[in-house]
Chains A and B, each alone.
Chain A
Amino acid sequence: VAFAATGLRARTALAGTEETEKRILDFAGKAPESGKITLTAPEIAENGNTVPVSVKVDSAMSDDDRVVSVMIVADGNPNPEVATFHFTALSGAAAATTRIRLAQTQNVIAVAKMADGSVFMDKKEVKVTIGGCGG
């Protein structure tokens, strides 16, 4: 088995679903719909200290069909906030990638705010594990 001989994980207070939802509502102003935004993250984190996360919004990035901001939150960290991207007409494509810290297995959520006020979200569970064995 491929795990640490030391303790598995620190026990800290976690953000939880309620606080995360509140943060989403503060950002979006209303409950987001599904669709338009795609969040890509690995099924299982190779390293919880640096997990690649990408967002892509289906948007022409024209004046009237444009994504303004995308907020990323994670519901199993001590605080849900991760980052907020701001796009402009010069962004060309509504897509961005960063690397984030995940304290444990949890949902990563991306919320997109469009120029017309509509909001969309996508969610993906990323597993943080000590590792399995090998075939």
Chain B
Amino acid sequence: GNWARAAAQQSLTESDLLDFQSFGNVTLVHVTDIHAQLVPIYFREPSVNLGIGAVAGLPPHVTGADLLKLYNIEPGSAHAYALTSVDFDALAKTYGRMGGFDRIATIVKRIRAERGDNMLLLDGGDTWQGSYTSLQTKGQDMVDAMNVLQPDAMTGHWEFTYGTDRVKELVESLPFSFLGGNIFDTEWDEPAFDAYKMFDRGGVKVAVIGQAFPYTPIANPRWMFPEWSFGIREEEVAKNVEAARAEGADLVVLLSHNGFDVDRALASRVKGIDVILSGHTHDALPEPLLVDKTLLVASGSHGKFVARLDLDVQGGELKGFRHRLIPVFSDVITPDADMAKLVSDLRAPYEAELKRELATTESLLYRRGNFNGTFDDMICQALLEVREADIALSPGFRWGTSVLPGQKITVEDVHSACAMTYPAVYRSSMSGQTIKDILEDVADNLFNKDPYYQQGGDMVRVGGMGYTINPDGAMGSRISDMTLLKTGESIDASRDYVVAGWASVNEGTEGPAIWDVVEEYLTQNPVVRLEENRSVKVVS
């Protein structure tokens, strides 16, 4: 289709990306997991993204050359660059940065001009966190920028890490709905947010149900929002679908931050959802996936893509669709002047600090991958050296931008990988057994055969140690051959090791902020060069 044709072209124009033969009577525009990236960025997609059990080898668990083959995308093309890690450093030089709110604004305005009142703009969450400026303004910069795009609804995940009071303050300020049918108060177990909202678009009654990240209080510090409980709450989703239909909905959309495999399972278990706009696991799928009668749309992350889904809805039934995952090539799409001005104003107070150079990297720095990423290798090195530890543990976040070989590492780059409200670097003594328990526990949260037990994200990154993992193994038996790299000796279950790590969910964790630790390391190591990480061995 359009994708393959456009992909075959080496030079893109704005109309290649945005010309779209309107279809049907409703258009959904989906952005998700922007992680507070207001300006164009480099972002390397993962080369390893394992699917477990029944979904092994199925999208989105297809990466690199396999993905190009599956979707008939020309290697070396612009779309190959946008969707895979293949030849990333070389292609990044050719095709440049992606995303940026001024470019996204151009796309949204154009679709709105074409579709008028038939369009809904929906934000899947993880919008307010992930950059220096969002941390400084506690999400205000993102709220201001998103408001200009005029979204119709959003849901959330990292938003909650600003804490109850700030979340309430921002949510109350929004000129649109913050939806979360799976968020309840912990005291009386009553809905804490609106579950869904009805819209009239092109004569079609559209119900948008919000589903926040079900494991927010586990993956993030629940003490920051103790009065809210989450969970998948499949029965609530079903109840809300039914209520929306009873209220006359012709089209039911789940604006979800469940993660793709959870959404795929949910689609097969809860009937009556026409479209799931899926977020959290940061997958960019060039085509929707059909599960029974539900379309699953995954629209990438960091502002790299805007998804457009035109739908034909007749007599309360979805009759057909046309979809495009629009890659936001910043060199191809004209910036919207008003948004460019706003973004520049929002960043102005911090510009000098954002641009401050800390070091030069000779290696590509990226984060995505199930087991390691070079940015995290660097962070682990910083934890080991600055905190004088035997072993470093760094969270397997999926947010964080890439830095190309030869580029300076700036304060902005470090914050795009570290900006969060619980950045303390702890230094503590842990037994070999405890370290194994941690790895096993995290592995089970990622690779559990039942998607409802998967929390998204990637494996905790390790520094100073190596291990072997069998992702298909049972809880407690996936991890083996734990080795302390500096001595080459096996890690002893009963011996204690000095461990440095960050982003603990425990209240009262003490230590310097991770960005200060990384900056100190870079001051002492002004040229970063990383060897290929061979410390994690994956077996099946």
A and B touch in the complex (CB under 8 A): yes
Residues from chain A with Cβ under 8 Å of B213 in the complex: 135
Known contacts A1-B394, A134-B395; decide if A43 and B501 are in contact (CB<8 Å).
Answer: no
Is there contact, CB below 8 Å, between B438 and A97? no
Interface-facing stretch out of A5-13, A19-27, A29-37:
A5-13
Chain A 22-64 near chain B by CB (<8 Å), digits 1 or 0 = 0000000000000000001011101100101000000000000
Binds B, one of A82-90, A110-118, A123-131: A123-131
What separation, in Å, do the CA atoms of A105 and B437 have in the docked complex?
A: 13
Q: Tally the A-B contacts, defined by beta carbons under 8 Å.
A: 130
Interface residues of B in 227-252 (CB under 8 A from A): 229-232, 235
Say yes or no: B217 contacts A46, CB within 8 Å. Answer: yes
Q: Is the CB of A2 within 8 A of B504?
A: yes
B18-43 interface mask toward A, CB cutoff 8 Å, 1 = contact, 0 = none?
00000000000000010000000000
Partner among A2, A5, A44, A127 whose Cβ is within 8 Å of the Cβ of B426: A5
Q: Is the CB of A133 within 8 A of B460?
A: yes
- Distance in angstroms between the alpha carbons of A44 and B456 in the assembled complex: 13
Cβ A2 vs Cβ B501 within 8 A: no
Main secondary structure of the interface of B (DSSP, over half): loop
A73 to B387, CA, bound (A): 46
Q: Are B219 and A132 in contact (CB under 8 A)?
A: yes
B189 touches A1 (CB 8 A): no
Measured between beta carbons, the chain B residues less than 8 angstroms from A2 are 218-221, 395, 503-505
Q: Are B235 and A133 in contact (CB under 8 A)?
A: no
A44 to B394, CA, bound (A): 23
Bound Cα distance A97, B188 (Å): 11
Distance (whole angstroms) from the CB of A103 to the closest CB of chain B:
15
In the assembly, what is the distance between CA of A7 and CA of B503, in Å?
16
In the complex, what distance in Å separates the CA atom of A30 from the CA atom of B442? 40
Interface string of B497-508 (1 = CB under 8 A from A): 001010111100
Closest to B223 in A: A47
Q: Are A46 and B235 in contact (CB under 8 A)?
A: no
B144 at the interface (CB under 8 A from A): no
Bound together, the chains give a CA A132 to CA B189 distance in angstroms of 25
Indicate whether B280 reaches chain A with its CB closer than 8 angstroms.
Answer: yes
Name the residue in B501, B505, B509 with the highest tally of chain A Cβ atoms < 10 Å from its Cβ: B505
Collect the chain B residues with CB atoms within 8 Å of residue A46's CB: 217-218, 222, 229-231
Q: Given known contacts A52-B229, A97-B189, A133-B455, is B509 in contact with A1 (CB within 8 Å)?
A: no
How far is A9 from B231 in the complex, measured between Cα atoms in Å? 23
Contact B442 A133 (CB under 8 A): yes
Tell whether B444 is near chain A: CB-to-CB under 8 Å: yes
A132 touches B442 (CB 8 A): yes
Q: How far is the CB of A133 from chain B (nearest CB, A)?
A: 4
**Interface residues, chain A, with chain B CB atoms under 8 Å away:** 1-9, 40, 42-44, 46-47, 50, 52, 97, 105, 127, 129-135
